[in-house]
A and B are shown apart, each in its own frame.
Chain A
Amino acid sequence: MGGLLKEIYKSRTLYLFISPFYILFLIFSVFPIFFSIYLSVHKWDGIGEMTSVGFNNFKYMFKDPSFWQVIVNNVAIWLLSNGPMLVMALIVAFVINMSIVKFKGFFRITYFLPNITAMVAVVIIFQSMFGNEYGLINFFLEKIGLDKIAWFNSSTGVRVVIAAMIAWRYLGYNAIIYLSGLQRIPKDLYEAADLDGATMLQTFTKITIPMLRPIILFSVMMSTIGGFQIFTEPQVLAGNQSPYPGSDTIVLYMYREGFIYQNYGYAAAVSWVLFVIIGIISLLNWKLFNKSDD
């Protein structure tokens, strides 16, 4: 211990250099993390006295049907958005990577653009596009002789809208990642397949997919973590009050409990449960990821 302190003292100039970051990190990240553990076993409205309630927050959470409902919503939105989106991203990347496609740079940029647009604006545009009475989507559905769909009246409809927003936003991002993976695959593999007379489908399933496996697992892992933190889309879509059916996600539930209803202790407890959920899923992903190296 003394040796360590001595070492630190020796290179004190360097420690001074990095200290501004660590001081801010301590105040704004480390302290809140530990404080939220303390908070999660208390009842606190933000102003009044904090009262210790033991594990009551957690007990209440597991008995609250709304909590289970938000988990169901969250998983549904995550599956609806990421499943089709990752498949589409792979196809887009594969097409851009084909030697017959010109202007690769242009496509790369265009597909990536949605990722850097302002989220709130996107949500508002999607909201009016999917509008029940005056939405653009329903307008086209009627034009081609179909019935209008009341998107916001059913939980499935709302989930589809939110999933579409997420898919639209992250399609390009994942396509770019896949594209970089595709470009890493040695050309001679394709040339050999070509000589052997393999079809395009065969090349895709027998060469591209296996060679891309680590990249695919990476993107699945990242979108899982992202999927459990969906917040902006449902929050802007539904506003603070009267949420649409099926749109509540875990983070939104936590936010509403904390910052709208002022149940800070309960919100802290929810955040720790969310931490455990994401931890478990990341662990599962990591196991899968490691296996792929065998």
Chain B
Amino acid sequence: MKFKALSGALLVLCLILVVSACGSSKTNNAGASESAATGKVTLKLWYWNGAVSDSTIEAAKAKFPNVDLQAEKLPSGNDYLTKLKTTIAGGGKGPDIVAMDSWVSSMLTYKEKFVNLYDQGARDIQPKYLDWKWKMAATPDDKDLIGLPIDVAPVVLYYRTDLFEKAGVPSTPEDIKNKVKTWDDYLNLLKQVKDKTGSQSGTIVDFFRSLIGQNSEGNFDLNGNYIGDKEHVKKAWDASVKAYKAGVTFPFSNDAEKNAAINNGKVSSFTGASWAVGDVIGAAPSTKGKWHIAYPPGGVGNQGGSFFGVLKSTKAPKEAYEVIKFLVSPENLVIDYKEFGNYPSTPEIYSSPEMVNKNEFFGNQDLSPVFADAAKDVKVAHTDSRDDMVLTVLVEALGTVDTQKKDPEKAWADAQEKIKRQLSR
């Protein structure tokens, strides 16, 4: 009998342990629970690898001794967004501070789930940041702000100096900025480069992405009406098709193919965001020293860059705001730039000596001034949570123009029909 009672007690204990293991996250995650004993505020921060550098997080821990900052690195991309969305849907128990990517505007729909940073005094630091970047996280009436800017990703032109020289086209960053102003200029340049060297540019889809990245209008207007079938998108579509027909685009395929082509000198130039620096260095080791970057044709654009926001469910909005304000301060953004290449969103430091970023891969060109030039006056289009779907359908259809030789007008019409059907439900 004694054995039975003992085993029964043990089992009950096991059960309690199992059940409490399921629920324990609740007690830990209660987030900003001020423990009476230490007087410390616990703040949980979610970010992904490369959003901010770990050393700035360590610096924040040292700077705020009264805050127990628990930073959690999560998988990036769509997994992160899904986790964040489901967490918010489940009542927001979990993180206090969250990093957000350029999809931040689509979270404005749920602005009541976030702390309005204007209430915490964010207007005081607003002048330090790029205006267009700041506005991405603010409501159209500028009454609510759900995120502070971290970095921006200005689009620049990556090109092979040697191939451009060989073709006799403008080959210094200054010349390119002054002489290659529009996409038509760029297309003519590419034709010459192709005739002389046989090398091409990015794919038809790369062209399209860069072109729509320069638009001031997106796929949806401020009221959520679909405008992705209008002139501004069709123009980008037609220009991409034109480049494809001129034979200057690299065949649309996977990244491995494109990287091999870049390394083999089959790609003379492409437009890409500032984070493509790492990509091209990784993809094309045998072209080291031959690359340069320049102001992009057709004007500036932005592809990426993140924000820090505070969830409404936090118990310490004041402290959370102070922490993110510190993390996105110009001094810390310089550190991020040095460690990851994330370009800061604070113009005041663009000219500081710390920002000099000479890179052997780019023939010792200082990359920062070009990025600084390209980061100014970006026109940001209104984003919508349905953009992903629209872009996927358009890109898929545009790809078939190259891969299956589909008629561009038919592909456009089919894609629009598909998008409208998707939006109709």
**How far is B14's CA from A20's CA once the two chains are assembled, in angstroms?**
9
Task: Find out whether the CB atom of B396 lies under 8 angstroms from the CB atom of A243.
Answer: yes
For chain A, the bracket of interface size reads: 35 or more
A242 and B15 contact, Cβ closer than 8 Å, known pairs A127-B256, A152-B253, A152-B254:
no
Task: Find out whether the CB atom of A127 lies under 8 angstroms from the CB atom of B11.
Answer: no
User: Among A46, A150, A261, which residue has its beta carbon within 8 angstroms of that of B389?
Assistant: A261
A46 and B86 contact, Cβ closer than 8 Å, known pairs A127-B256, A241-B392, A242-B395:
yes
Task: Find out whether the CB atom of A131 lies under 8 angstroms from the CB atom of B257.
Answer: yes
**How far is B258's CA from A131's CA once the two chains are assembled, in angstroms?**
10
Which residues of A153-190 are within 8 A (CB) of B? Answer: 153-154
Task: Find out whether the CB atom of B251 lies under 8 angstroms from the CB atom of A27.
Answer: no
Task: Find out whether the CB atom of B78 lies under 8 angstroms from the CB atom of A47.
Answer: no
**How far is B402's CA from A132's CA once the two chains are assembled, in angstroms?**
13
**How far is B388's CA from A57's CA once the two chains are assembled, in angstroms?**
20
**How far is B102's CA from A211's CA once the two chains are assembled, in angstroms?**
62
**How far is B22's CA from A152's CA once the two chains are assembled, in angstroms?**
46
User: Among A57, A66, A131, A240, which residue has its beta carbon within 8 angstroms of that of B78?
Assistant: A240
Task: Find out whether the CB atom of A43 lies under 8 angstroms from the CB atom of B82.
Answer: no
Task: Find out whether the CB atom of A241 lies under 8 angstroms from the CB atom of B391.
Answer: yes
Which residues of B233-281 are within 8 A (CB) of A? Answer: 251, 253-254, 256-257, 260-261, 264
The B interface is mostly helix, strand or loop, or mixed, namely helix
Q: Which of A17, A152, A154 has the most chain B CB atoms closer than 10 A to its own CB? A: A152
Task: Find out whether the CB atom of A131 lies under 8 angstroms from the CB atom of B253.
Answer: yes
**How far is B109's CA from A48's CA once the two chains are assembled, in angstroms?**
9
**How far is B19's CA from A23's CA once the two chains are assembled, in angstroms?**
9
Task: Find out whether the CB atom of A13 lies under 8 angstroms from the CB atom of B7.
Answer: yes
**How far is B414's CA from A245's CA once the two chains are assembled, in angstroms?**
15
Contacts of B391 in A (CB 8 A): 241
For chain B, the bracket of interface size reads: 35 or more
A153 and B403 contact, Cβ closer than 8 Å, known pairs A131-B257, A241-B395, A242-B395:
yes
Within 8 Å of chain A (Cβ to Cβ): is B197? no
Q: Which residue of A is nearest B421, CB measured? A: A64
CB distance from A199 to the nearest CB of B (A): 48
A133 and B8 contact, Cβ closer than 8 Å, known pairs A56-B425, A240-B78:
no
Quick one: CB contact mask for B16-59 with A, threshold 8 Å, 1 for yes?
00110010000000000000000000000000000000000000
A152 and B403 contact, Cβ closer than 8 Å, known pairs A13-B8, A23-B19, A259-B82:
yes
Task: Find out whether the CB atom of A23 lies under 8 angstroms from the CB atom of B18.
Answer: yes
Q: Which residue of A is nearest B8, CB measured? A: A13
Task: Find out whether the CB atom of B18 lies under 8 angstroms from the CB atom of A134.
Answer: no
CB distance from A66 to the nearest CB of B (A): 7
Q: Which residue of A is nearest B22, CB measured? A: A27
Task: Find out whether the CB atom of B254 lies under 8 angstroms from the CB atom of A261.
Answer: no
Within 8 Å of chain B (Cβ to Cβ): is A16? yes
Within 8 Å of chain A (Cβ to Cβ): is B85? yes
Within 8 Å of chain A (Cβ to Cβ): is B69? no
Task: Find out whether the CB atom of B389 lies under 8 angstroms from the CB atom of A245.
Answer: no
A47 and B110 contact, Cβ closer than 8 Å, known pairs A241-B392, A266-B425:
yes
CB distance from A127 to the nearest CB of B (A): 6
Q: Which residue of B is nearest A134, CB measured? A: B260
Contacts of B109 in A (CB 8 A): 48
Within 8 Å of chain A (Cβ to Cβ): is B284? no
**How far is B77's CA from A259's CA once the two chains are assembled, in angstroms?**
12
Contacts of A64 in B (CB 8 A): 421
Task: Find out whether the CB atom of B400 lies under 8 angstroms from the CB atom of A245.
Answer: yes
Task: Find out whether the CB atom of B15 lies under 8 angstroms from the CB atom of A48.
Answer: no
Which residues of A240-278 are within 8 A (CB) of B? Answer: 240-243, 245, 259-263, 266
Within 8 Å of chain A (Cβ to Cβ): is B385? yes
Task: Find out whether the CB atom of B385 lies under 8 angstroms from the CB atom of A45.
Answer: yes
CB distance from A124 to the nearest CB of B (A): 8
Which residues of B382-422 are within 8 A (CB) of A? Answer: 385-386, 388-389, 391-392, 395-396, 399-400, 403-404, 418, 421-422
A242 and B392 contact, Cβ closer than 8 Å, known pairs A13-B7, A47-B113, A153-B404:
yes
- Taking A16-B15, A45-B385 as known contacts, 16 extra A-B pairs with beta carbons closer than 8 A to each other, sorted by chain A number, are A13-B7, A17-B11, A20-B15, A46-B89, A47-B113, A56-B425, A131-B256, A133-B253, A133-B260, A152-B254, A154-B404, A241-B391, A241-B392, A260-B78, A262-B385, A266-B425
Chain A residues near B (Cβ < 8 Å)? 13, 16-17, 19-20, 23-24, 27, 43, 45-48, 56-57, 60, 64, 66, 124, 127-128, 131-135, 150, 152-154, 237, 240-243, 245, 259-263, 266
**Can you give 17 contacting A-B residue pairs, CB < 8 Å?**
A20-B18, A45-B85, A46-B82, A47-B89, A127-B254, A127-B256, A128-B256, A131-B256, A133-B257, A134-B256, A134-B257, A150-B251, A152-B403, A242-B392, A259-B78, A260-B389, A261-B389
